[in-house]
Amino acid sequence: MGIVIVIQIISGFLLALYYVRGSLAWDSVVEITREVNYGWLFRVIHSNTARFVFVVLFTHFLRGLIQSSFYLTGPWLRGWIIILLTIAAAFLGYVLPWGQISFWGATVIINLLRVLPIGKILVVWLWGGFYVSFFTCRFFYAAHFLVPFIVIVIAIVHLILLHFRGSRTPSGLSRIIKIKFLHLFLYKDIVNLILIWFMWIWALYTPDWRADPVNFVPRDLSSSPIHIQPEWYFLHLYAVLRSIPNKLGGLIGFVLAIIILRILALVQSNQRLSRLSLYPRIAWWFISFNLVLIWLGRQPVEDPYIIIGQVITRLYFFIIILILSLDYSMNVLFKWRVLLDCKSGY
């Protein structure tokens, strides 16, 4: 994760030297791709590594979920903040090419905030006016440049906390049982570098393998795309958003789908959940529901996808509630067992 974030920051900094925010944003992207020496290479690296960041990020998060790493409250909360900031940085960067999907994506997503009590003021402030304009591009560029450095600081704090608390194991063993850094983690880092190298080779052969063709058209204020959809790493949240027919309800579901991962830090039953044979199955159900939501996010808004989306969205939230309920039940059983042991003289 640290390797791909550093690659993103370096490649983004080199692109920022030639990128022109505002009215010439689209032209500067074309100029970088066609005229700047190796500009196309850095743009391919930056755009595809952004996708790899979320592959690594989601894999790391789901691994922590399966191993019930949310018992480590400090590292889990910092990791949750890193996810939020990475999503924000990706959304801001997706707008910067100033293509059709980028432009209308910023219009649609930010316009959802109008349902809030101060939504209209917030939308005008984020847009820099009464519609998405070149001022929006300038504001998003500045925010996109700063957020990754905040992510690095929080990631360092995340690693420091993890260093003192220790990592979880699949079997839920005690943190006292530890291994040395060398040579296991050195070998793992070498394997990770090899995997990243192969991902770059794949990106060079298919540089636009997940790009929307409509986004290769300059933004047009008078014509909106027929079907607006975000990148694949936003699709599970996008599917939750549109599965609720009410606009306010969809926004609430969208926010809850992110906040509910923070609620897992409330689980404090000292690893007992990870020892349940049922828990890994629950964790894999949660992963399966996320994959189905990603698939649903690419489908048109029509039956049967609407009904399937509503069912999977309910199951998505039900799984988290089930994990919290299991934790509460285990705590109650543990307290009763301690009480009975005390009464029996042990």
State the Cα–Cα distance between residues 58 and 71, nearest whole angstrom.
18
Q: Say if CB 229 and CB 235 are below 8 A apart.
A: yes
Q: How many C-beta atoms lie closer than 10 Å to residue 174's C-beta?
A: 9
State the Cα–Cα distance between residues 270 and 307, nearest whole angstrom.
39
State the Cα–Cα distance between residues 340 and 256, nearest whole angstrom.
39
State the Cα–Cα distance between residues 163 and 279, nearest whole angstrom.
26
Beta bridge partners of 218: 99
State the Cα–Cα distance between residues 254 and 53, nearest whole angstrom.
21
Q: Say if CB 293 and CB 229 are below 8 A apart.
A: no
Q: How many C-beta atoms lie closer than 10 Å to residue 286's C-beta?
A: 19
State the Cα–Cα distance between residues 305 and 311, nearest whole angstrom.
10
When computed from its CA atoms, the radius of gyration of the chain, rounded to whole angstroms, is 23
Closest CA to 235 of 61, 111, 58: 58
Q: How many residues are present in the chain?
A: 346
Q: How many C-beta atoms lie closer than 10 Å to residue 314's C-beta?
A: 12
Q: CA 212, 106, 23 angle in degrees (round to 5)?
A: 90
Q: Which residues are catalytic?
A: 163, 167, 188-189, 231
- Residues 78-91: b if buried by 16+ CB within 10 A, e if exposed: bbbbbbbbbbebbb
- DSSP code at position 344: T
